Amino acid sequence: MYILQFSTMSDEERQAAEEKMINDEFQALLNDYLNSNHRRKVDIITKAFNLANEAHKGARRRSGEPYIMHPLAVARIVSREMGLGSTSISAALLHDVVEDTDYTVEDIRMMFGDKIAQIVDGLTKISSGMFGDNVSAQAENFRKLLLTMSEDIRVILIKIADRLHNMRTLSSMAPAKQFKITGETLYIYAPLAHRLGLFAIKTELEELCFKYEHPDIYAELTRKIEETAPERNKIYEHFAEPVIKALDKMDIQYEMRARVKSVYSIWKKMEAKGISFEEVYDLFAVRIIFEVTPGMDEKKQCWDIYSAITDIYKLRPDRIRDWLSHPKSNGYQALHLTVMGPDGKWIEIQIRSRRMDDIAEKGFAAHWKYKENRVEEDSELDKWIRTIQEILANPNPNAIDFLDTVKMNLFSSEIFVFTPKGEIITLPQDATALDFAYRIHTRIGDHCLGAKVNHTLVPLSYKLKSGDQVEILTSQTVNPQPEWLNFVTTAKARTKIEASLRRQKRRIAEKGKVMLEELFNNEPIDNNVMTKILNYYKVEKREDLYYLIGNNEVVLPESPDRFYKIKETLPKSENLFMKYMKQAMSAMKKSSVETSPIVPQSDSNKKNISSSPAVDTKEVYELKEERFKKNFIVAPCCKPLPGDDVFGYINDRNEVEVHKRSCETGIKLKSNFGDRIIAVRWGDYHQYSFLASIAFTGIDRIGILNTILSKLSEDVVVNIQSVNVSSNDGIFEGVINVHVHSVEDVNLLCSKIAKVDGVSTVHRSLI
């Protein structure tokens, strides 16, 4: 838009137009701020804008617009969509000044004071290198982000606003860069926004990721949502008419509206359940937002509205969600219920006060608006930040494992369980008895022997359910074991177990070191001799050798003479030079076939593949049929087919590993290994076939399988690998594994099966 508007202007006209655009955007920011309930500190915001505007003068974004438009946009998100005040707005305007210009944090401190300087410093630390080229640096910077967040939550709020604006302007980036950024966003930023209660921002981040990763599916689902709007409106109007009459009689101020699910959440449901768009029954939810009547209890008003609705419509008891008495850990409060509407459709209803709605949309930032009366509402966020601080106090040395550990607790649903004394404990969905033990105290977790759930003895791995009462049994003779890591789902428990196991390993290694030194009469061990010992026991590091000795996994000889007698010979495996020469000779023989460049895979090569990439990461890589299994492979985790939305990842063997863009493993790769991600494009496949799986269900009848198989073989020869069908109480379930050339082949086969009388559902599934 900017380029189209200004490309025909002279330099003077363009400069004047840009200045007007910048000043208009700044005035819009001030209007956002003045329309809030914050104190009127316009002077400091204006001062921050003037400095940022001067510092970024002449710089442009990739889209072509002046760079200052980015900090202005971030500041507007911080003000209008998060509800933050002058300190955060000023820090947002200045968030790139220290990183991109000659100004220092000390300069910011001198001009704006300690608080703004501290926030800008935190943003600078996590921005320079956050999710950069070096994988360890990526996780290390995320660790910095969390550390800074625990000091001032506004750092991460501004960082999320920064990411949201980058996502809104992602179209100007190259495809490979887009995949990297969407991967980071889905892996870290959307879960962080969710945990901080920024529901509207979390939803938009997911929608934008989906739009860039699956543009065709996004467009198709958007079209279907628009096409079905009249039918939904009719269902809503039939439902709303008697409810409005009932609420009007209660003499309360309220608004009621239907809110359609996001395109991303609809698609996720379709993928998870293997259903079509038409089979998603809960496309929209009804939201009732009321103003609290002075002198009335807001929770009681929620239940009064609930009572009025259930007097009209039949309730579905298993779908009640009471987040009033026990808010979610991100502060979310509401009362959810599902009723059978007049058109025979289940309708979900969310009942909230205006305060609850503010917190649901703007998260903990909105708490500050109500803080005078409801300080206790911040307690759940404080608990989460304390958990983060505990993880940071005992970080996993492996940076990526650390990232995963924190990620575990960012996006989890919650359950409520009770201690023997009746205290309520909040835990993530699928938390176990061992998670509960570590939630109570680290010492209780470390010595956990078992548990009693509802007075019944259960193992450590027992998964808890909401309402369970849990008592932990301990013994001082019990210590954490490696298999315990398979029993936990919370970040705190995993961190504490890993820290304990590392301490145990260090103690055993110390014991092993003493045993080895005693063998040599406590005399220094020559480096050559130590190398011989390591080779003899086939161990790479001294610490690993000490651990094996201390743990009695290797037996030392009675005398050190045994080691002196070992001859210095080359290891049986080929050395690096010979290995490289063999690879080179092999490559020369295959010179008629296009292959990846072959490099000796030293340890440093394995850690940083970007030093010798197989392909040009800036170009779109063609997935040609003749290259398959030579230059690229399909990932076994998601098994993409030609026609799927995919991206490429350059693995340690210099192969292009092709993943679906929606693949969970792929999302992790995109967020952690940005320098190895490339854009790819399918070629035509006529000879090579891929194995695909089609699942179907329906009403059982004699000969239905024969009907399905004959339908599949109509017009085309189908290479079926296997068929598995089972029947129970008149319902059958079947899976056909078949060789295909593309997604189109799968869709064609699915449509044929769907036409068979008695088949109710059919979809492609993972093998």
Q: Which of 13, 99, 151, 271 is catalytic?
A: 99
Catalytic residue selected from 25, 100, 390, 625: 100
State the Rg of the chain over Cα: 31
What average pLDDT score do residues 81-91 get? Answer: 88
Is the per-residue pLDDT at 31 higher than 50? yes
Q: Is the pLDDT of residue 407 over 60?
A: no
In the chain, what are the helix, strand and coil shares in percent, each to the nearest 5? 50, 15, 30
Residue 107 designated active-site: no
C-alpha dist (Å) from residue 583 to 237, 593, 636: 71, 15, 26
The SS3 assignment for 750 reads helix
In the chain, domain spans: 22-220, 226-370, 500-564, 576-682, 690-765
pLDDT recorded at residue 147: 63
Asked if residue 604 has pLDDT above 50, the reply is no
For residue 466, the model assigns a pLDDT of 80
Is the per-residue pLDDT at 388 higher than 90? no
The pLDDT score that the predictor gives to residue 394 is 58
Task: Find the mean pLDDT for residues 605-622.
Answer: 59
Q: Which of 275-284, 336-345, 379-388 holds the top average pLDDT?
A: 336-345
Residue 644 falls in the annotated catalytic set: no
Using the predicted structure, report yes or no on whether residue 699 has a pLDDT greater than 70.
yes
Specify the length of the chain in residues: 767
> How do residues 700-717 score in pLDDT, each as one tens digit?
888 888 888 888 877 767
Q: 679 with 176: CB under 8 angstroms?
A: yes
Cα distance between residue 682 and residue 670, in whole Å: 19
pLDDT at residue number 591? 38
CA dist., res. 182 & res. 262, Å (int): 17
CB count in 10 Å sphere of residue 652: 12
Token readout for 81 is 């969509």
Distance of CA 143 to the CA centre of its chain: 16
CA 679 – CA 656 distance, rounded (Å) = 10
- Tell me: the pLDDT tens digits for 741-763? 889 889 889 888 888 888 888 88
Average pLDDT of the residues in 303-328: 89
Average pLDDT over residues 104-131: 79
pLDDT of residue 526: 76
- The closest alpha carbon to 692, from 747, 633, 758, belongs to 747
Task: Give residue 365's pLDDT.
Answer: 58
The average pLDDT across 408-431 equals 76
- Give kind and range of the element (H or E) at residue 69: helix 69-76
Average pLDDT (270-287) is 84
Of the two residues 567 and 622, the one the predictor is more confident about is 622
Q: How confident is the model at residue 313 (pLDDT cuts 50, 70, 90)?
A: very high
Q: Which fold has domain 690-765?
A: Alpha-Beta Plaits (3.30.70)
Of 381-385, 405-409, 540-544, 578-582, least confident by mean pLDDT is 578-582
Query: Cα(388)–Cα(407) distance, rounded to whole angstroms?
Result: 11
Contacts of residue 565, Cβ cutoff 8 Å, sequence gap at least 6: none
pLDDT at 256 over 90: yes
Residue 204 has pLDDT above 80, yes or no: yes
Alpha-carbon distance of 745 to 736, in angstroms, equals 14
pLDDT band at 224 (very low <50, low <70, confident <90, very high): very high
Segment 659-687 mean pLDDT: 85
Average pLDDT, the chain: 80
Whole-angstrom Cα distance, residue 660 to residue 225? 24
The pLDDT score that the predictor gives to residue 430 is 84
pLDDT at 420: 87
Residue 491 or 24, more confident = 24
3-state secondary structure of 339: strand
Q: Which CATH superfamily is domain 226-370 in?
A: Beta Polymerase, domain 2 (3.30.460.10)
Of the pLDDT bands very low, low, confident and very high (cuts 50, 70, 90), residue 43 is: very high
Say if residues 452 and 469 touch (Cβ distance below 8 Å): no
Predicted confidence at residue 284, as pLDDT, reads 87
- CATH number for the region 22-220 comes to 1.10.3210.10
Confirm whether 22-220 and 226-370 share one CATH topology.
Answer: no
535: helix, strand or coil = helix
The pLDDT of residue 203 is: 92
Q: Please work out, in degrees rounded to the nearest 5, the angle formed at the alpha carbon of residue 257 by the alpha carbons of 256 and 259.
A: 145
714-745 CB burial, b ≥16 within 10 A, e <16: eeeebeeeeeeeeeeeeebebebebebbbbeb
Model pLDDT for residues 684-695, shown as the tens digit of each residue: 887 788 889 999
CA–CA distances in Å: residue 722 to residues 1, 393, 613, 615, 735? 54, 52, 39, 37, 8
Among 186-190, 522-526, 699-703, name the one with the lowest average pLDDT: 522-526
- In the prediction, which pLDDT does 269 show? 87
pLDDT one-digit tens code per residue, 529-567: 888 888 888 888 888 888 888 888 887 887 777 776 665
